[in-house]
Copies of this chain bind each other. A is one copy, B any other.
């Protein structure tokens, strides 16, 4: 699936890809739609209604329609959206047809798991290099790749024309690694280390902090606990229909 250009590729009216500037919120949801669409495609569905796809992606149907309308008009009124076509569109917009090269820095507890994470490869990302500052880890084989020393990061990353760097080092070394990645020409960074990274404005950084997620949940636990003790607070309603309401 998702192999050749269809008649008119969305943004290439004239060889120059006129890029629709999508709202950030929309961009963040496109991968979710894509996952739902792949799932639908596996079940053999040819078309989906906005209602159906919205349910599968866990969002409001109006929001979904507005999101997709930003990509252009790829639905048919009275029918719905062509699943295969929409998959191609979203993959094109997200640049997933490029099979981007990813490198991973820091092969510790978390990094080791990320190196073997199947979810990356299955969605078009190739982990092509692993780095670590610990000499004991250098040379180790993980998932068919040899761990290299971070001193070689800049050279190797430039050679392999790596687009995305993943930082899974301890907080103290994250900034130095980011600097090396930037120096090697990497313009997108996924950072698992707690703390703020300083990078040039043309570099995109996304941060994932697992402890922060737990802390946010902890807040809601705290809030819920104090609500149950409060006059107006409904104290743990056990049976409420059962479904719906997905956090954040």
Contacts and interface: CB of A to CB of B under 8 A. Distances in A.
A158 interface: no
Given A31-B216, A196-B57, A240-B202, A117 B110 contact: yes
A36 to B, nearest CB: 8
What is the interface of chain A mostly: helix, strand, loop, or mixed? mixed
Interface in A184-208: 187-190, 194-208
A46 to B, nearest CB: 22
Given A27-B219, A188-B220, 14 more contacts: A16-B226, A17-B229, A30-B215, A56-B196, A58-B196, A113-B114, A120-B210, A187-B220, A188-B217, A198-B243, A202-B224, A204-B217, A204-B221, A206-B247
A237 interface: yes
B28 A201 contact: no
Interface in A164-182: 164
B244 A187 contact: no
A45 interface: no
13 contacts: A16-B230, A34-B215, A94-B215, A95-B222, A98-B222, A112-B113, A120-B211, A187-B220, A188-B221, A197-B246, A200-B242, A202-B237, A204-B220
Contact of A123 (B112, B206, B215, B247): B215
Contacts of A223: 19, 95
Nearest to A20: B223
In the A-B complex, list the 3 residue pairs whose CB atoms are closest, starting with the nearest: A95-B222, A113-B113, A58-B196
B118 A109 contact: yes
Contacts of A68: none
Report how many copies the assembly holds.
Answer: 2
Nearest to A227: B19
Given A113-B109, A218-B164, A224 B31 contact: no
Contact of A210 (B24, B117, B198, B236): B117
